[in-house]
Amino acid sequence: MPRPSLISRIHELKYEMRRARLNPSEMPRLVSEYDARVLEACVSYSCSKAELLRTIASDFGKWIRDEKMPPLEEPQS
């Protein structure tokens, strides 16, 4: 079954928020959009936030591979 575009967008936003070189000024916009897309998915799929996030968590790594995204880097200390 193909991944719904809304779930892909949630994965994309999660990926962006986890990038090591993310400009901190981008974070509020990303968090706001992520929360809005998660809420939209909860309404669409009639589930709680916890249920949705638990269900899609295992798909995140697959999405990274499917989209051929570069692996996430560990933040430099």
Closest CA to 27 of 35, 15, 37, 17: 17
DSSP-assigned letter for residue 57: H
Share of the chain above pLDDT 70, in %: 94
Is-contact 14 34, C-beta < 8 A?
yes
pLDDT (mean) for 1-21: 90
Which pLDDT value is given to residue 50? 97
Please give the residue that has the higher pLDDT: either 8 or 22.
Answer: 8
Between CA 64 and CA 49 the distance in angstroms is 22
- Mean per-residue pLDDT over the chain, rounded: 91
What does pTM read for this prediction? Answer: 0.88
Which pLDDT value is given to residue 76? 54
3-state helix/strand/coil string of 23-40: CHHHHHHHHHHHHHHHHH
Residues 26-54 pLDDT 10s? 999 999 999 999 999 999 999 999 999 99
